[in-house]
Every structure is written in structure tokens, then in C-alpha cells.
Structure 1
């Protein structure tokens, strides 16, 4: 039986720094990237003082578009959307360039307005982050413009685009040896631009800040490699990066770890713009998402409405993709949630904290067996690897890593989790709950748990006790043996697990 192929769609983002092509399989609105191309065209670098695109920059762009056009052969116009951003907006000879570009690519090109670019960026972000009612500030530093968007659901409350970008600011302020005076001049110039919207943005307000696209990701990656493993961007961290650049004289001589070679020329400009945004808007920290304009173009292309948590869609898609037994996955997840509830209620864990961990347990329980599609032996390791490294729309990097860790810990040697979990009490609760759920559900059939059963941790949080009906345990000798073995596993850690009969 031949399984019908999911329809393919493509988005093309002609940015001021790089051109990107992304091809997706559209599984009823579930985004799955199947191919991606990126080329650093430095389009904005081709603008002269009269805002005319140089022949050299046009040639670079056309060469890239010809490659994209080759990959898109066989696609119909309904399957492809192409958008061009700030450089195409400001170039005075863009009307002469566009026909040549469309001929090379084979598809029409839309030069979108700044606020439309902001809206599409926000659309990409909001479809790949779980909606929780909080307002987010999204900042996207591109090659020639920076977009600022505030919103809490599908429709943004505020969307603005300013003409400051990593390419234009790098060319304007950081052509030669970089000094402290150069950095301050760049930051002041960017702040002056951002002041036009800062009062309005502050009036609307936000609960957390998100960065997207190349500059934000580069700053995050360098900070993580050089100073702190945190996934957040902070102002103090950026000041350290700027000081190191000034001390070395150039970004290249600063020799930052985790900075891609193609980002070296534009890193200082992006850093200055981001520091200006932090200063002018009073941002304390910012997380970074992989979502970007190209994702917003995709969702806009299919006209999809966000009507449920993207993480739930992704979990269901992974269950289908890796041929998970839905009955068994549901059994393990629900049983684990019962154990987790028992542990948390006894310790008066706040309801919101319990709800958060119950979500993690649900995802881990429903996905713990995806690794059996590779091999049954050590399947929990295969499952954990997939969950750590796969594209999982809707999940933050932190959430994805947590689910992976819970799945890794749900069977096998408990001691291996000691360095991973450390003193995170709630994570130990979740791991024990999943281990016991997998143990009790091993027969893969419906099982009535004993009425007399309690799982508790001691008041100091230094161990666990399972009290269980002795007659029920006598009637289930395999589970009794498994619980005895489980107890021996936990003795290898500083958190013992004991079984008491009632």
C-alpha cells in the first residue's frame, strides 16, 4: 500500500543579509521541514549612498535565486510564496532588478512593507510557541531593519519596523578597528531610532521578550559558549562581548567560540542594535526562538488558524511518525500522573507547579517508546536522543530537553541520572513516577491498581516509600519482583526507594 505524500509548500525569504529557502511537508498544518537552503548574499551591502543596488550585489542575488529556482522546479505558484524585505523596500532601482530576479527564481516576488514583515515574523513565532495568555515582545534584527512586535495570541497588538540592521550598522560604524567610541556611537544611533516607538511599546507592555533570526541566535550562542550555559541573552553578557571586541580591535580577532564564520562581519552591528533595544526598552533578559519570517510566510500561505497547543500537535505527530502504541502510551502517561499527584499532594506542592510537571509527564509518557522504531534494546536511549535533537514545533529548547531527560530516566540504571537531575526534587518525582508507571504497565493490558496504595517522599525529600496492599502484591508476583529490583536500583543513589506492604 502506497502512503500518499504530504503536499509540499515552500517559503522564500529574501533578506538584507541572507536569502533563505525552506520547503515543508504540510501534514494538515503540522509544519515539517524537509529541505532548507541559506546563502549569505549581503544584499544590503550593495546599496550605495544614493540607495542604488550595485551590479555586484545584484549578481550575487541572481546567482542564489537561480539555485533556488532549480530546487523549486515542479512546484506550482500556489505552493510557493516569496517575500523580499528592507533592502528591496529602500533600493531605488529595485523595479529594474525584480523582473530579472523573478525570471531566475521562476516565481513572483512580493516586496513587503515593514509592518507586514513584523506581522509575519510574529505569526511564525506565535505558531511555534505555546500560547499561555502572556504578552510577548518579539525582536527580529535583520540585515537592514529590525522588527518589534507585541502580542499574546494570533493577532499582534503592536507591530513596528525600524531601519536599523546588522549589515547596515556594521558598515556604518565598524568598518575598521573597533573602538569603545564606535560602539557607543552605534548604540546611541540605534537608541535614537528606537525612541520613536519606545513609549508606545512600553505603554502596551509585555511579560517576556523573545529574539529571533541570525543576530539574536549568534549573540545567544556566543554568550552560552563564552560566559554562561544559560539560553537567555542578558545586557551584562552583551557588555562583556562588546568589551572583548573593543579590546581585540575586531570581531575576528576576538575569536569567539560558537560564532559562525559568515556572521563575523555583521556581528558587531547586530550586537550594538540589540544592546540599544535593551537599554531603550528596559529589557532585562531575552530568550531566543528558532522561528522566523520564513515560518510566518508558511503559516500565512496555508491560512492556518492556531486553535490548540502546538506541543500537543507535535506529540501526536511524533506518536504517529514512530508508530507508538497509543493505548500503552496513554496507560503509562495516566498512571505516571497518578503517582506524581500522590507525591505532590503529600508535600503541598502548588497546583500550578503540579500542572506544569503533569504536562511534562504526559508528553514523556506518550513519547517514551518512540525509540523502539530504531531498536527495542536500549530503546529509552534512542527515544531520548530523538527527543533531544529532533525538530519539535512548539517546544522550547528547555522543554524539549526536559522531556528527553525524563524519557532517558524512565528505565535502566537510576544512577546515570544523578549528574543530570542534581537536586531538582520535582524532576526526581517525575522520574520515579514514570519508572513505576512503566513497571506497573509492563503487561501492556488494562490493570486495576490496588485501592490500598500510597506513594510518598519523606519530609526531608531524601527518599520515597511505596505502601501497597500485600494481598494484591501476592497476586502479582512479577510486579513484586520488579519493585524489589527497582528498590535496589535506587539504593545506588542518595535517594532510596522502599516498598512496604499493608
Structure 2
């Protein structure tokens, strides 16, 4: 297994909308400027007949093992376990050893089904509990050792995007907008979308496990406690009510176990056919007040391990109904884990949403596409020459280098002075669809280090993968320096030779003597790299 360690766990809060027009523009320019250029090979989808997704949720862990068939998935195995990871978070946001053990025991069972699947065929995503946990790296490292695959922590809006993808593939075709709601253990996601495209995505800090810990920890159900949970949810909802209502919708769908359990409880009372209704929730609420204790909950369809979080889930859902004026909500079996699978298929079939995200970033911050392409091409050529010697042969090495080459100049839209820092900040604090939190941090680090001094402490702080990131940064800097003089001028073929902490660049004989600016550039670069413990030789 190749396991990544990541520097500086940062999260963002600014929305970035993917722009298909920007992607088409950039690809068009690529085609015009780079006929027949070489790329390192990607894994073909037919090489992954089996794929799997694991959702490390705040309440439950889920896994799907599926077979791919013409871009569709045929589910072979579904597993789900109530772990309540969010219940293990204390006031300092430390995840308890007991909660970690519950999760790891579950993952040890899941690991048996994916032990023979190759890298790239399995995607593991962590949601709100791992976003919140300050010691998440401890759990992630142990989980990766068990599973043999990388664990990604995704942002709230990325979680929302994947939920919508899972719902839209699971529900019948529908004309008009859909409101999708997923009440999780620690957060609740809201998406309005049309067909397979999300239009707006939001994630709020309210969940059935976290609210249960705060208000129903001893299992007692009272109107006062229920009212506190309802009010807390309404206050959270005020942040997104107007934005969602401006888009409007014609159908409301719930994608979580909470909505499914409430729908089944309402059905058992003969008040619906499985959908959630206002009348049904009113009946459930009265019934809960009469029971007075979670241990007495005996609604049909509500499993024993969901009793403790049922009142909080009902309070949150009632607040959602009232905030948006809903009359009913249907349930979708498709959710985050299915969305992860379809997103994985898209990556394997070169329909990667991350490509659209990067193109949108370039468009938003007015990146010069010709210069970006020149740098990308030279960086890939350099990578091909040194990949073996520098152990940079995995697909993510190429992807990260390409994306960094495309967006390294976004900070120029803010100011020229320290634009590499502006660019890194923008990447760290934007919502980048398709990117995990870790991948986003690594991309920001390459952009931060692409010129002037290299923040060696941030690279060295990420363990063995930090060395690979530093090498990618050196290759990016070389490509940028090589095209310091912009334009489609004729450039020489150069040879790169790599050792552990050294890169040798050999120009054609006599070329450097006729290009003193390049000589000066690389002399200065050698000084910058020396401060980072790297030796650059130019001849």
C-alpha cells in the first residue's frame, strides 16, 4: 500500500462552481498548442472490474462492493454498521480511543472484501466526525494500515456533491429541481439539483448523533428537550434558507437512514406509504412524548441501534419541513457511498470532475492558458525523465503536478507581490469539487512553493510523502523557470538526471552561453533550493 501523509489539515469555506465552458476553452487551447504530446498512462476502467466505496460517517460506516458494466454499477455487497464516531468526540474535539476501536473493528471486516483490489479501485471517504477530530491522523493511519487504501477526508460541500450524485443515479428521471437532504450523525447536507447536476450545495453543523449527545444523552425524551433540538436546528437553517428557496424545487428527497426510519415509522401508523409527511411527524412526536424514554421506542422500521438518535433526528427533520414549507419527503436508497462509486467510475473513464474544477479556477482568476500549458508540458516531460529515480510513478504524482502547473499563477489576480502565497491561500480556502481535503492541501503546498523560498517545514512535516511533494515542487519550479520568457519561442531539449537530493540539468552544448538570462535564473534557483537542502546542477 502507498499511504499518504498530509501537511497542515486545513479546510475552506468559499464556494467554487465548476465551469464547463472553461474546461472546453482550456482543452481547445491544449489541442491547438500541443498536438500529440505524451502523457503518462492512466489505468483503464476495464482493469477494475470490481470497485468499492467506504463511507466513514459520523453515525454509521457503510461499504459497497460493485461490478462495473458500461458505466453503470451492479452492487454485489452492501455492509453497514452503527459506529457513532461522532459520539467519541469530546469538548476539545479529540476522538476517543474507544470510538476509534469501534471503527477499526468494523474496517477490519470490510478489509477482507477488498484485500485483492488494486490501488484506485477503492475509495474511502471520511465525513464530519473526521473533519472535526483534531487527532484524525491517528485514526486515518490505522485505518489505512487495515484497508490498504488511502482514506480521504472530504469537505461538507464535497460530501453534498457526492450525495446528490448517488441520489440522482438512484431515482427516476425527473423534470425540474430536486431538493435533497441528508441528515447525518454530525452534519446535514442540502443540495438543489437538476438531473445529474447540483446547482447549490450546503452543509450545516447539525446531526442526529451530535444533538443526541447534547440533549438526549440519558435517553429521556421531554417536550423541553425536543424543543431545544428543534430550535437549534432552526437557528442553523437560517443560514441557508433564503439561498435554497431562491432556487426552488418541485420534489424533496431524503437520503439518510434518519429519513428512512421516520418514513417507516409513519407507514406503520398507516399515515403514509413510506414517505415522510407533516401529519406523520406530528403523530410521532406526540408518541415520543408519551413514551418518555428512547428504550421504549418500538416503532416498526426503527432498529434498536437507532433508538437513541431517533428523537434528535425527528426534531431536525421537523425543523427542515417547517423552514422550507415541505409537505412530504420521499426516501432515496442512493446516497454518499453510491455517489462515491459513480464519481470513481467518472475518474476511471476520464470524466473527472476535478478537471472541471481546475478549469473553473483558471477561468475565475484569469490564468494565462498558453503559459499554463507550456509549464504543464515541460513539467510532464521532466517527470517522465526522473519518475523512476525519484519514485514518482503513481498516478496521483502526475495529476498533482499537472493541476499545480495549471493554477500556479492564480494569485496574480490578487497582486503580483507574493502571488504564490495568494494562490496557495485561494486554493486552501476554496471549495474545490472532487478534491479531498488532503489533495487540496497538497495542491496548495505546491503552489505556495513554486517560487522564491520553499517552506521546507511544511514539506518535511508530511513524512515520507513530503519528500515526494518536495520533488514535485522542484520539477514544477524547473518548468516555470524554463518558460520564464513567455511566448512560443523555440526552446532546447534538456536532459534531467536525478539522485536523492540532487537534480542535474544538461542543456545542449553552447546554448547557455547565448542565453545569459537563463543562466542567471538557474543560478538564483540553485541558491533557493540549497536552502531547502537540495542540490541543483546546471551544465
With normalisation by structure 2, the TM-score equals 0.55
Q: Is the 8 A contact 2:48 2:121 kept in 1?
A: no
Cα distance, 1:289 vs structure 2? 1.0
- Distance, in Å, in 2 between the alignment partners of 1:106 and 1:172 is 36
- Distance, in Å, in 2 between the alignment partners of 1:73 and 1:203 is 47
Q: Is the 8 A contact 2:115 2:147 kept in 1?
A: no
Cα distance, 1:229 vs structure 2? 4.1
Structure 2: stretches of 5+ with no match in the other structure: 1-45, 350-539
1:163 to 2:205 alignment? yes
Q: Is the 8 A contact 1:85 1:111 kept in 2?
A: yes
Residue 62 and residue 305 in structure 1: after superposition, are their counterparts in 2 closer, same or farther (change >3 A)? closer
- Distance, in Å, in 2 between the alignment partners of 1:124 and 1:35 is 16
> Could you say which residue in structure 2 is the equivalent of 1:277?
320
Deviation string 1:100-133 (CA, Å, 9 cap, x unpaired) is 1111121100100000000000001111223332
- Distance, in Å, in 1 between the alignment partners of 2:228 and 2:265 is 23
1:81 to 2:123 alignment? yes
- Distance, in Å, in 2 between the alignment partners of 1:7 and 1:259 is 36
The structure 2 residue matched to 1:237, chosen from 274, 280, 283, is 280
- Distance, in Å, in 1 between the alignment partners of 2:195 and 2:78 is 28
Deviation string 1:317-350 (CA, Å, 9 cap, x unpaired) is xxxxxxxxxxxxxxxxxxxxxxxxxxxxxxxxxx
> Could you say which residue in structure 1 is the equivalent of 2:146?
104
The structure 1 residue matched to 2:230, chosen from 161, 183, 187, is 187
Residue 256 and residue 24 in structure 1: after superposition, are their counterparts in 2 closer, same or farther (change >3 A)? same
- Distance, in Å, in 1 between the alignment partners of 2:174 and 2:183 is 25
The structure 1 residue matched to 2:159, chosen from 104, 110, 117, is 117
Cα distance, 1:69 vs structure 2? 1.3
1:196 partner SS = coil
- Distance, in Å, in 2 between the alignment partners of 1:284 and 1:228 is 13
- Distance, in Å, in 1 between the alignment partners of 2:270 and 2:232 is 28
1:301 to 2:361 alignment? no
Cα distance, 1:305 vs structure 2? 12
- Distance, in Å, in 2 between the alignment partners of 1:203 and 1:229 is 29
2:52 partner SS = strand
> Could you say which residue in structure 2 is the equivalent of 1:34?
76
1:25 to 2:84 alignment? no
1:69 to 2:111 alignment? yes
Cα distance, 1:228 vs structure 2? 2.2
- Distance, in Å, in 2 between the alignment partners of 1:304 and 1:130 is 24
1:207 to 2:207 alignment? no
Cα distance, 1:33 vs structure 2? 0.8
Deviation string 1:209-241 (CA, Å, 9 cap, x unpaired) is 000121010001111112324232112211211
> Could you say which residue in structure 2 is the equivalent of 1:216?
259
Q: Is the 8 A contact 2:183 2:256 kept in 1?
A: yes
Q: Is the 8 A contact 1:6 1:27 kept in 2?
A: no
Cα distance, 1:96 vs structure 2? 2.3
> Could you say which residue in structure 2 is the equivalent of 1:136?
178
Q: Is the 8 A contact 1:244 1:254 kept in 2?
A: no
1:45 to 2:87 alignment? yes
1:49 partner SS = coil
- Distance, in Å, in 1 between the alignment partners of 2:74 and 2:321 is 33
Q: Is the 8 A contact 2:86 2:209 kept in 1?
A: yes
- Distance, in Å, in 2 between the alignment partners of 1:295 and 1:301 is 10
1:246 to 2:279 alignment? no
- Distance, in Å, in 2 between the alignment partners of 1:100 and 1:16 is 17
Equivalenced residue count is 303
Deviation string 1:436-455 (CA, Å, 9 cap, x unpaired) is xxxxxxxxxxxxxxxxxxxx
- Distance, in Å, in 2 between the alignment partners of 1:242 and 1:305 is 46
- Distance, in Å, in 1 between the alignment partners of 2:263 and 2:172 is 21
Q: Spell out structure 1 runs of 4+ moving beyond 6 A.
A: none
1:286 partner SS = strand
1:237 partner SS = helix
- Distance, in Å, in 1 between the alignment partners of 2:276 and 2:178 is 15
Residue 219 and residue 131 in structure 1: after superposition, are their counterparts in 2 closer, same or farther (change >3 A)? same
1:150 to 2:201 alignment? no
Q: Is the 8 A contact 1:83 1:111 kept in 2?
A: yes
Q: Is the 8 A contact 1:17 1:43 kept in 2?
A: yes
Q: Is the 8 A contact 1:14 1:84 kept in 2?
A: yes
Cα distance, 1:46 vs structure 2? 0.2
1:78 partner SS = coil
Q: Is the 8 A contact 1:131 1:152 kept in 2?
A: no
1:94 to 2:132 alignment? no
Q: Is the 8 A contact 2:100 2:139 kept in 1?
A: yes
> Could you say which residue in structure 1 is the equivalent of 2:419?
none
1:77 partner SS = coil
> Could you say which residue in structure 2 is the equivalent of 1:365?
none
> Could you say which residue in structure 1 is the equivalent of 2:36?
none
2:105 partner SS = helix
Q: Is the 8 A contact 1:29 1:304 kept in 2?
A: no
> Could you say which residue in structure 1 is the equivalent of 2:22?
none
Deviation string 1:30-71 (CA, Å, 9 cap, x unpaired) is 221101211111100000011110110011111111111122
- Distance, in Å, in 1 between the alignment partners of 2:225 and 2:138 is 36
> Could you say which residue in structure 2 is the equivalent of 1:389?
none
